[in-house]
Amino acid sequence: MIETTAILWLVLGVALLALVPSMIVITSQQHVKIVETFGKFSSVRGAGLSAKLPWPIQTASSNFSLKIMEIAEEVTVKSSDNAFVTVPIRVQYRVSDNGAEQAFYKLDDPESQIRSYVVNQVRSTASGLTFDELFRSRDNFEQDVESTLKERMTSFGFRIENVLVDDPQPSQQLREAFDRVIASQRLKEAAENEGEAARRLAVAKANAEGQSLEIKGAAWSQFRKTIAEGNAEALENFVGTTGLSPAEALVFFTSVNEMEAVRDAASDGGRVVFVAGSAARGGSDPALMGMMAEALPEDARARPRDRTSDGPHRRAPNGG
């Protein structure tokens, strides 16, 4: 009898020693463990050492992280103006202070399910914005996504810490289209600038020409005035010296000018028909006629005119 009792106590002691490890709960820092009693939630154990009833009465889960985790996703969205862009987004989240039970039981795969909520919410928010608004109001876009995710994920025991949205990346076709638009705008601006430069150059040139003509006109006017004053003074002196009348003095000066004109015309060896003013008035100035005779080449002076019956003033056959 004594031996049987001893054996029973020995078996009981061994069983208790085997159950002791299942009664100890050790939880890592920034983690919790969920304790269940016969499969039903019992308690949440924080970091450190704690005890529970032995298995199979109570069981403890593995470490459930309370650290901040991040989901990075590139979401392809369609804006309200039918532009397809890729929105890089990162969502930082963690289990809320009192939400360990909900976070552990309500979501089977928290990361993938939160990722689905993020993608759906980003697409829903972006669909109401134009392509330009996605770029210009990125902060508002982040706030809209963050507020909606916070509202939805709180019921699952998670807390959204931050939502970060990078610059939306347009598709290759859209990028090429924008490049063409920008290039055409630059060409338009360049053409406008060149046209404005040409206009200003033309205006400046016209102003310069106007000023030049004005200066030339003033110079010619002053020149003519000087010439007129000089001629008047010369005529007055000539009349006073020679005793001729002013009209006779003008005729004399005109004859001198005509002789000089004939001389200059004949100096190149050409044949020039020059009608002097005195000839037009019916006068015959011997000095002028002599000057004209000397100015003509000798062959022209010596060649006679052919006055045959074929007609008056016919030229010689040599083509003179």
List pLDDT tens digits, range 285-320. 554 444 444 544 555 444 444 444 444 443 444 443
On the question of pLDDT at 189 being above 50, the answer is yes
Report the share of the chain in percent with pLDDT over 70.
81
Q: Which pLDDT value is given to residue 302?
A: 47
Report the distance separating Cα 288 and Cα 274, nearest Å. Answer: 11
Report the distance separating Cα 13 and Cα 4, nearest Å. Answer: 14
The burial of 71, by beta-carbon neighbours within 10 Å (0-12 exposed, 13-18 middle, 19 or more buried), is given as middle
Q: Which pLDDT value is given to residue 31?
A: 93
Cα distances (Å, whole numbers) of residue 188 to 18, 182, 184, 200, 245:
87, 10, 6, 18, 76
**pTM for this prediction:** 0.51
Instruction: Give yes or no for a contact between 162 and 139, defined as CB atoms under 8 angstroms apart.
Output: no
On the question of pLDDT at 248 being above 80, the answer is no
On the question of pLDDT at 119 being above 80, the answer is yes
- Partners of 74 in the β-ladder: 88
Instruction: Give yes or no for a contact between 47 and 29, defined as CB atoms under 8 angstroms apart.
Output: yes
What CATH number does the domain located at 68-170 have? 3.30.479.30
Please state the rounded mean pLDDT for residues 220-247.
Answer: 79
Report the share of the chain in percent with pLDDT over 90.
12
Supply φ then ψ for residue 256, to 5 degrees.
-65, -45
Q: Which pLDDT value is given to residue 310?
A: 44
On the question of pLDDT at 54 being above 60, the answer is yes
